[in-house]
């Protein structure tokens, strides 16, 4: 209501759970509302009104029963919240008319009943609250203006205030919850209206509903005490959904354009390394008080999901939402716009193509000026674009075109935010194609049974193929390479799979020299394979092996495998064999074996990790499909315990046991092999140790040397086995 209201409605509420300073913190429903009118001019009071509210869940905590004195039977006879709010409006309107007054403002003892209880419950039940509940005065702050020496506002309580101004305590017969609090607030209001205070209520606080978007600059000063991190958000949630989750935060200035006292553009949805939302968001409030209120929403629900709320820093917010692009700032400068992200656009799509796709029922703001195409640093399109719409109706019409066809591609459309625009632009514009690898101390890692250990080096003698058809096989790649096939190293084709074990559209090829790799990149770049053009980039063996070990290499840079690398390379493995000592055969992964294999003699006196018989027929060099060309890719990142490589006991790095061989061959010097750590996937959930031992029946191990270190996790098991013969799994 307006700041010139001539009437106060002293208002109080209680819930079926926590009350007092924790009101609303447990998401329990309101069960009691009490109010009374105070005429500020005549200093008169109206009739004291008390209404019980029937909650959807008729369950009261013991604390609530004791404090309110209410029972389930009483509440079962009451009206629901929407009906009680209608009664509130009718009662207040009738009394105002009798007093000859036209406007009123709610007066509460602290903002919790409005922000933390009433507005959140109305949002959950899809109730439209009357306008009066979007403005209120806090009797504690009004008293603090009269008596600033009484203490800090947050430390003030109603009993302390009454004692401070010498207002006598109510008799025991009137100390019923709700009635007592309202009568005390009414007495306090009348007291500060009279001499010597002559107070005028002026500290009006407002609750805003709509969130306004805006750009955030990396140079903008940021208070770390105003930012929170929300975790566990539904993937499809928008910034407006997050604002509604925090609905009820106050704003001390009615003229302010800030919704919920979230700063302009203060909701930043976080993206993962693939550019998709990861269920987290950073939210920036205008001050610490509002941030602290937001923290009280920890584990409150958005739909069926509970949301975790934690403190965050301003630096984290700027890293996500901050930008320096003038183009983005100009794009986001238009106020009250709905932002939609389009993904999967053809690279040849023009602004007119996009506008035609959206159609007349969803026109973009200012036509082509309402479009922002995301491009790489070299100006090539990424297939992403952002569109501004002037109203929610146009945005909803655009979202109906989700997965419709433009050209030969289906287009995905999502709600977006100003912070997401900044993130996507920053991701594509600020990072080179091939970023610098981490320091060498983080790269070596023990790879035990399953993956091949690829030699690393900075020589750029490899090429990366990106954009392969998902049906592409080794034959297609060799045909694509044409005359350059003869320059491929033996078994040098490595297909990359995604986390679901399907082709990712990428492949790495090891060439005989850097010059040959450069020539392939020049001649084959954007050459067609089936109905797609394939990009070809020159890269190093180091970059290739890092990706094949589970990392990702894209225009956002090189990301490590989804685990903590330092944990995989403890100091005990500093003596890991250098790449120069690895044989060529050790670079390739063998087909899985159903029976144990006797270690073969090495090709050189240097230590080797494995040996696989060469393919003698030239035609089989690249075309033998029995060879497993599939690059190793780790399990989905559930937890570090589910990864496919582990730090093993010292001395278990080598893949072949040191032992003399037949025919007079002398074994090459090897690191001592005391144990080996192997991983089993797909075990039945009821499998036990005996089942595992039975599975390994036929392999040689000594029962006295066997120590079980079985850890069950999502159908995966790790076992520590002391072998007499290497087990090739």
Structure-block tokens of residue 474: 């080794």
Q: What is the pLDDT of residue 723?
A: 40
CATH of domain 462-549: 3.30.70.330
Judge if 227-321 and 462-549 fold alike in CATH terms: yes
User: What pLDDT digit, counting tens, does each position of 177-190 carry?
Assistant: 899 999 999 999 99
Q: What is the pLDDT of residue 676?
A: 55
CATH of domain 7-206: 3.30.420.10
Pairing assessment for the beta strands 44-45 and 135-138 based on DSSP bridges: unpaired
**In the predicted model, what is the mean pLDDT of the chain?**
74
Q: What is the pLDDT of residue 677?
A: 63
DSSP 644-657: S--PPPTT---SS-
In CATH, the architecture of 227-321 is: 2-Layer Sandwich (3.30)
* Helices assigned H by DSSP within 400-553: 418-429, 474-481, 514-524, 541-548
Evaluate whether 225 touches 251 at the Cβ level (below 8 Å). Answer: no
User: Which backbone phi and psi does 680 adopt, to 5 degrees?
Assistant: -120, 130
Q: What is the pLDDT of residue 721?
A: 43
Helix (H) or strand (E) holding 511: strand 503-511
The pLDDT of residue 722 is above 90: no
Q: Secondary structure of 11-59 in the HEC alphabet?
A: EEEEECCCCHHHCCCCCCCEEEEEEEEEECCCCEECCCEEEEECCCCCC
The pLDDT of residue 453 is above 50: no
Q: Helix 314-321 crosses helix 418-429 at what angle (to 10 degrees)?
A: 70
Mean local confidence (pLDDT), 323-333:
77
Structure-block tokens of residue 216: 């955030």
The pLDDT of residue 451 is above 60: no
From the options 3.30.70.330, 3.60.15.10, 3.40.50.170, 3.20.20.70, give the CATH code of 326-429: 3.30.70.330
**b (16+ CB within 10 A) / e for 103-127:** ebbbbbbbbbbbbbbbbbbbbbeee
Q: What is the pLDDT of residue 104?
A: 92
CA-atom Rg of the chain in angstroms: 34
Q: How confident is the model at residue 266 (pLDDT cuts 50, 70, 90)?
A: confident
**b (16+ CB within 10 A) / e for 373-411:** bbeeeeeeebbbbbbbbbeeebbebbeebeeeebeeeeb
The pLDDT of residue 659 is above 60: no
Mean local confidence (pLDDT), 644-662:
37
For the chain, domain boundaries: 7-206, 227-321, 326-429, 462-549
The pLDDT of residue 619 is above 60: no
Task: With CA atoms as reference, report the closest residue to 67 among 148, 177, 164.
Answer: 177
The pLDDT of residue 95 is above 80: yes
The pLDDT of residue 483 is above 70: yes
CA angle 118–119–124, rounded 5-degree value: 100
User: What pLDDT digit, counting tens, does each position of 96-148 carry?
Assistant: 998 888 889 999 998 889 988 998 888 888 888 988 998 899 999 999 998 99
Q: What is the pLDDT of residue 411?
A: 94
Q: CB neighbours (10 Å) of residue 622? A: 20
The pLDDT of residue 227 is above 50: yes
Q: What is the pLDDT of residue 558?
A: 59
The pLDDT of residue 579 is above 90: no
The pLDDT of residue 434 is above 90: no
d(CA 499, CA 497): 7
**Look-up: residue for tokens 């302010």?**
256
């Amino acid at each position: 209501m307006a700041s010139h209201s001539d009437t106060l409605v002293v208002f109080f509420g209680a819930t079926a759970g926590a009350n007092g300073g924790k009101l609303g913190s447990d998401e329990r429903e309101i069960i009691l509302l009490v109010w009374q009118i105070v005429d500020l001019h005549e200093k008169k009071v109206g009739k004291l009104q008390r209404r019980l509210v029937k909650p959807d869940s008729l369950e009261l905590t013991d604390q609530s029963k004791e404090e309110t004195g209410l029972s389930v039977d009483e509440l079962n006879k009451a009206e629901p919240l929407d009906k009680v709010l209608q009664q509130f409006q009718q009662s207040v309107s009738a009394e105002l008319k009798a007093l000859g007054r036209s406007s009123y403002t709610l007066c509460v003892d602290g903002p919790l009943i409005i922000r933390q209880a009433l507005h959140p419950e109305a949002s959950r039940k899809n109730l439209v609250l009357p306008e009066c509940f979007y403005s209120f005065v806090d009797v504690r702050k009004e008293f603090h203006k009269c008596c600033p020496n009484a203490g800090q506002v947050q430390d003030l309580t109603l009993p302390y205030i009454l004692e401070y101004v010498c207002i006598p305590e109510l008799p025991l017969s009137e100390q019923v919850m709700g009635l007592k609090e309202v009568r005390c607030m009414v007495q306090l209001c009348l007291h500060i209206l009279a001499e010597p205070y002559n107070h005028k209520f002026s500290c009006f606080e407002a609750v805003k509903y709509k969130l306004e978007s805006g750009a955030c600059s990396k140079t903008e000063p940021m208070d770390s005490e105003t930012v929170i991190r929300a975790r566990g958000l539904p993937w499809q949630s928008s910034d407006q959904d997050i604002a509604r989750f925090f609905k009820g935060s106050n704003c001390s200035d009615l003229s302010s354009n800030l919704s919920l006292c979230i700063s302009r553009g203060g909701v930043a949805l976080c993206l993962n390394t693939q550019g998709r939302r990861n269920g987290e968001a950073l939210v920036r409030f205008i001050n610490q008080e509002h941030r602290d209120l937001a923290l009280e929403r920890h584990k409150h629900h958005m739909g069926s999901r509970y949301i975790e709320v934690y403190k965050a820093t301003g630096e984290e917010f700027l890293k996500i939402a901050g930008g320096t692009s003038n183009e983005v700032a100009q794009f986001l400068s238009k106020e009250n716009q709905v932002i939609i992200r389009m993904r999967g656009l053809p690279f040849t799509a023009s602004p007119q193509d996009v506008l035609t796709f959206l159609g007349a029922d969803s026109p973009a703001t200012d036509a082509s000026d309402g479009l922002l195409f995301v491009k790489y640093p070299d100006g090539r399109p990424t297939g992403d674009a952002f569109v501004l719409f002037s109203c929610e109706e146009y945005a909803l019409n655009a979202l109906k075109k989700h997965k419709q066809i433009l050209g030969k591609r289906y287009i995905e459309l999502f709600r977006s935010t100003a912070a997401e625009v900044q993130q996507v632009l920053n991701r594509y514009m600020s990072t080179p194609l091939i970023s610098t690898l981490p320091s060498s101390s983080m790269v070596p890692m023990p790879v035990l049974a399953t993956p091949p250990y690829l030699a690393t080096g900075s020589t750029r003698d490899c090429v990366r193929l990106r954009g392969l058809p998902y049906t592409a096989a080794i034959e297609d790649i060799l045909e694509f390479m044409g005359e350059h096939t003869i320059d491929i190293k033996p078994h040098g084709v490595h297909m990359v799979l995604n986390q679901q074990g399907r082709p990712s559209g990428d492949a790495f090829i090891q060439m005989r020299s850097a010059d040959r790799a450069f020539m392939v990149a020049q001649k084959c770049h954007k050459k067609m394979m089936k109905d797609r053009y394939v990009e070809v980039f020159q890269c190093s063996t180091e970059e290739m092996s890092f990706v094949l070990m589970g990392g990702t290499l894209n225009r956002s840079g090189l990301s490590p495998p989804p685990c903590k690398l330092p944990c995989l390379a403890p100091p005990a493995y500093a003596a890991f064999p250098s790449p120069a000592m690895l044989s060529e055969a050790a670079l390739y992964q063998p087909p899985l074996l159903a029976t144990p294999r006797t270690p073969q003699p090495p090709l050189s006196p240097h230590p080797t990790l494995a040996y696989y018989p060469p393919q003698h027929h030239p035609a089989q060099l690249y075309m033998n499909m029995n060879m497993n060309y599939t690059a190793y890719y780790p399990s989905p990142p559930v937890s570090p315990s589910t990864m496919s490589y582990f730090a093993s006991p010292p001395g278990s790095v080598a893949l072949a046991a040191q032992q003399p061989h037949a025919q007079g061959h002398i074994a090459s010097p090897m690191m001592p092999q005391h144990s080996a750590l192997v991983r089993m996937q797909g075990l039945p959930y009821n499998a036990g140790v005996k089942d595992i031992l039975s599975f390994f029946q036929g392999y040689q191990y000594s029962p006295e040397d066997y120590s079980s270190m079985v850890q069950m996790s999502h159908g995966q098991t790790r076992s520590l086995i002391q072998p007499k013969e290497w087990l090739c799994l």
